[in-house]
A and B are shown apart, each in its own frame.
Chain A
Amino acid sequence: DAGVTQSPTHLIKTRGQQVTLRCSPKSGHDTVSWYQQALGQGPQFIFQYYEEEERQRGNFPDRFSGHQFPNYSSELNVNALLLGDSALYLCASSTPHRGGNEKLFFGSGTQLSVL
């Protein structure tokens, strides 16, 4: 049973460029959440996708956008990259929302470096 998989594992971009990160959820999961983790800090919520729609969004600018496909996989897009976007981007999947308790399972992340 494959867990959450993310690609690529590492990525180097320059300021102003655009990037797309990909995520496949754990088998049986239909909800995907994206988190940004800066060095030495805890993950911060970007947004969550369910039924191919953005269900909730954290405090991130519109440069951050996403998509969920019919097979539940998801993409995170970041436009006009800034140096401050350098971070580990984590994808987490979960089972359908039940009573507010959603156990998140994380992938290993994509390490993005913006030069």
Chain B
Amino acid sequence: GESVGLHLPTLSVQEGDNSIINCAYSNSASDYFIWYKQESGKGPQFIIDIRSNMDKRQGQRVTVLLNKTVKHLSLQIAATQPGDSAVYFCAENRPAGQNFVFGPGTRLSVLP
């Protein structure tokens, strides 16, 4: 079936290092993607989005890369901070779609 998945369920990084969280999607028709951050006891928080006509998009300390050839999405976090510790989800939206398909999430732990 169609799904959005993540390569690594957990990721531990040293404070100050860069983090890379990966996501694979299976529907080549998906045209819009969002990365969400979810802290314990809270709802998903929007981080950054990218459309299928783009390969890269940058925000504050975050960069999303989209490789449509291999259907792969990644989130890069520069100078990872303790406040970045959370579960990160990628979500895909299909053309004229009314809903998002979420992956299972990656837990990011920032070590002091």
Contacts and interface: CB of A to CB of B under 8 A. Distances in A.
Interface of A: 4, 33, 35, 40-45, 48, 55-56, 58, 90, 92, 97, 100-109
Interface in B59-112: 89, 91, 93-105
14 contacts: A41-B104, A42-B89, A43-B102, A56-B98, A58-B99, A90-B43, A100-B31, A100-B32, A103-B49, A104-B91, A106-B44, A106-B45, A109-B42, A109-B43
Contacts of A92: 43
A9 to B, nearest CB: 9
Nearest to A42: B102
Interface of B: 4, 31-32, 34, 36, 41-46, 49, 51, 89, 91, 93-105
Given A48-B99, A97-B98, A109-B43, A103 B34 contact: yes
Given A102-B98, A104-B46, 16 more contacts: A4-B43, A33-B99, A40-B104, A41-B104, A42-B105, A44-B102, A55-B98, A56-B99, A100-B31, A101-B31, A101-B49, A101-B51, A103-B34, A103-B46, A103-B49, A108-B41
